[in-house]
């Protein structure tokens, strides 16, 4: 899909623009949190991610190298469903299909904060809130009708985070995950009877979530004494 390719290029350009910037370390090295929200599915049995909302929840762990970047690992569990009766598409022989599945998503992401995120001295120009972008890689294990299917995925996300205090953070995020597998929806595969492509016959799911996290692992503060 051209729109997705354009988005990936845009994210890469924004992230590359800060690589040469002088890094400022955050006060803490790590962050652990939990998230909950609404899942959506886009594939053979749904043409809208909002047509069949489900539950999404999980936990995450971040390494915080500085105030602009984070490396995040997370595990999410999502319930997904779809029904072709709700679609405008007409399948061969006017057949109707539906499914319900549970997806387990384990992956790693690179997060980039638009602003220097944190609470600190004013000369550091930190802000206690910041929009952010994220892209990564992961794996999806989907179970449907007693069968399990495994696939590689690419998650893409944007959100906003707010620092309630020095350690506690609140965030809201929307993500889309592309699964290189046509079995997130179980046995539904190649219903259009055409060759799979990036945009068709492989599945997507979304996650709209809110999260709370706690920072820990205080960095050693070096004091430079001048006589």
CA angle at 174 for the pair 103 and 47, rounded to the nearest 5°:
65
Q: Is 92 helix (H, G, I), strand (E, B) or coil?
A: helix
DSSP of 17-54, one letter per residue?
A: TTTTSPP---SEEEEEEEEEEEEEEEBTTBS-TTSS-E
Q: How many residues does the chain have?
A: 227
CB atoms within 10 A of CB 102: 15
List the one residue out of 99, 83, 80, 100 whose CA is nearest residue 91.
83
The answer to whether 43 and 82 are in contact (CB under 8 A) is yes
Q: Which of 15-24, 99-108, 122-131 is least confident? A: 15-24
Which one is predicted more confidently, 49 or 135? 135
DSSP structure class, residue 14 = H
| pLDDT tens per residue across span 14-73 | 554 444 444 577 789 999 999 999 999 988 778 888 889 999 999 999 999 999 999 999
Which one is predicted more confidently, 18 or 194? 194
CB atoms within 10 A of CB 65: 13
Structure tokens at 123: 């000369």
pTM (two decimals): 0.81
Alpha helices in 70-188 (DSSP H): none
CATH of domain 30-218: 2.40.160.20
């Amino acid at each position: 899909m051209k729109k997705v390719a354009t988005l990936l290029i845009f994210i890469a350009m924004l992230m590359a623009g800060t690589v040469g910037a002088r890094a400022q370390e955050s006060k803490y090295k790590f962050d652990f949190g939990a998230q909950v929200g609404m899942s959506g599915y886009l594939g053979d049995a749904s043409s809208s991610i909002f047509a069949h909302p489900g539950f999404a929840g999980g936990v995450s762990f971040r390494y915080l190298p500085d105030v602009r970047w984070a490396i995040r690992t997370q595990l999410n569990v999502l319930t997904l469903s779809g029904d072709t009766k709700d679609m405008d598409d007409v399948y061969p022989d006017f057949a109707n299909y539906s499914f319900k599945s549970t997806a387990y998503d384990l992956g790693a992401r690179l997060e980039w904060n638009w602003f220097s995120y944190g609470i600190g001295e004013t000369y550091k120009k930190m802000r206690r809130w910041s929009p952010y972008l994220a892209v990564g890689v992961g794996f999806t294990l989907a179970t449907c009708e007693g069968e399990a299917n495994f696939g590689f995925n690419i998650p893409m996300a944007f959100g906003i985070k707010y620092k309630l205090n020095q350690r506690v953070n609140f965030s809201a995020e929307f993500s889309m995950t592309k699964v290189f597998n046509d079995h997130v929806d179980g046995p539904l595969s190649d219903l259009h009877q055409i060759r799979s492509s990036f945009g068709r016959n492989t599945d997507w799911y979304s996650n709209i979530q809110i999260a709370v996290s706690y920072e820990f692992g205080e960095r050693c503060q070096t004091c430079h004494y001048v006589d």
